[in-house]
Amino acid sequence: MRRFRVHRVNSKFAVLPYLLAWVSRAFALIRVVRLEVRRACDSPELFAKLLSPIANALNVRPCTSFARRNQRETASIALRVLPLTFAMFAFDATETPLLAQQPPTPNPFRTTQTSSRDDGQLANSESRYADVIQLDKLPSHSEPPVVTALSVSPSGELIAAAGDDHAIRIVALKTGGTLSTLSGHSGWVQCVEFSPNGKRLASCGHDGALRIWSIDKTPKVLFEKSVGHALFSLAFLNDDEIYAVGFSNKIYHWNAKAGGMIVDHACECRDNRAIACSPDGALIAYGGRDGVMRIRHVNDFNASLPGHANNPGESKPSESKTTEWNAPLHFDRIRSIQFSHDGRQITSVGEDRRIVHYDVLKRTAIGQTEVGGGKLMGLCQLDTNLFAIAGSDNSIRIFSDIDRKVLMKLVGHDGSVGVLKRTSKLIISGSFDTTIRLWNIDRAISSSDTQGRYVHPIAAQFEDSGTGDLVK
């Protein structure tokens, strides 16, 4: 390092530039030796040894000789003069390391290897997705609706979204534009689902109506039936059959071939909020206020359908051969249920802030974890042992079934997250903040901070997005 010359200053106004130059040089040297300063904190005598090379670098011989002859005096001066400098060291040490210095983070969501060319094409494809979709407000409403119902078409090109303005929007996932608006419900829409072949859309809500829509260039209602209470959740057993539950102990069954909806059976719980069907169509599982998940075999029930009345109020529970059992899994209301891809495991979340895994063959819970945060409402499976869960604390957590812990926290919503869906590369969330957010899984993994948080690209517009909360 070159030595600096001390010039005589004839004008008092020229002192400031020299002082600023010396201060900048001093801070540059201090940043270089910050690690040595930390180690020197354990021994006052080491301050003198540390100040000697700094004095040599600055060509201040009197300071050098003083530091060598008077070690304890030098240490005393340093302890009085350098606290602010140490604070700067500590602040600088907490800065996030550069991405180039961090080891590559493994992506637990990627199950197959792709070539660099494929990755480039994928990046270009994903960049066309909107980060946030906000549904257009109806002419009769002053604000956009909160989003509590969401479904992705089997092709992954469309999403159906609905909420408290009673309308259902069919939205193009790539552009975020509304293709059509389905009207007819007279209450808050709580659930929408595409059929497995994508040709139909089912919806239900607070008006007690189950509606089946034909999805084509001109959507139209194929079937509508109302009951005397709100319907909260529905699930397709196959392309032609639907089960629905709500604020009653009745489980309803719609069959396209029979042409109507009947009461399949009744249960002990009078407030059911979630229902799911196994991928092979052999089981249904549902739950609600009492925290008990009920699993039921569906055998040859279809043969008895034509003999039932179409009026839900007049139909009787089926006498077909079925087997049902109860699984008390939660301490509070169950809000979401999902079967695994092979149908051997059921995962549920509830307002007791717990995620529970249930083995269908063994008929027992195989894992249960209390997750920090708010009441859990949304659930979707990302991989064999990875789940996205969300709820009333405005955030989404990635939960590992193997480690039994939260791996990552996605923040950006400014309201309760009531529903989660997914595509091969995206998590799609609907919230009470009136937005639908698209979370690129690869981007979230690579851009998460050291605490495991990923902040949505469009989160700064909200006053409270939970970015300061730790992963828990």
For 213-265, what is each residue's pLDDT tens digit? 998 878 889 999 999 999 999 999 999 999 999 999 999 999 998 888 999 99
Kindly indicate the confidence band of residue 130, based on its pLDDT and cuts at 50, 70 and 90: confident
Q: Tell me what the mean pLDDT of segment 415-424 comes to.
A: 94
Mean pLDDT of the chain: 77
Cβ atoms of residues 272 and 288 within 8 Å: yes
- pLDDT value, residue 54: 53
- Distance from CA of residue 357 to its chain's centroid? 19
78-82, 84-88, 99-103: which has the minimum mean pLDDT?
A: 99-103
Kindly indicate the confidence band of residue 373, based on its pLDDT and cuts at 50, 70 and 90: confident
- pLDDT value, residue 163: 94
Reported as type and span, the H/E element at residue 24 is: helix 15-32
Could you state, in order of their start, the residue ranges of all structural domains in the chain?
15-93, 123-455
26-30, 167-171, 355-359: which has the minimum mean pLDDT?
A: 26-30
Contacts of 81 (CB under 8 A, 6+ apart): none
Closest residue by Cα to residue 354 from 339, 340, 374, 338: 374
Cβ atoms of residues 90 and 73 within 8 Å: no
Identity of the amino acid at 387: F
Kindly indicate the confidence band of residue 87, based on its pLDDT and cuts at 50, 70 and 90: very low
Helix (H, G, I), strand (E, B) or coil at 155: coil
For residue 317, pLDDT over 70 is answered with no
For residue 363, pLDDT over 80 is answered with yes
C-alpha–C-alpha distance, residues 135 and 146, integer Å? 9
CATH 3.10.20.30 for domain 123-455, yes or no, is: no
Cα distances (Å, whole numbers) of residue 158 to 74, 136, 169, 171, 429: 72, 16, 10, 6, 14
- pLDDT value, residue 248: 96
Measured torsion, CA atoms of residues 101, 107, 110, 112, in degrees rounded to the nearest 10: 50
Tens digits of residue pLDDT in 387-415 = 999 999 999 999 998 889 999 999 999 99
C-alpha–C-alpha distance, residues 277 and 243, integer Å? 8
- pLDDT value, residue 342: 93
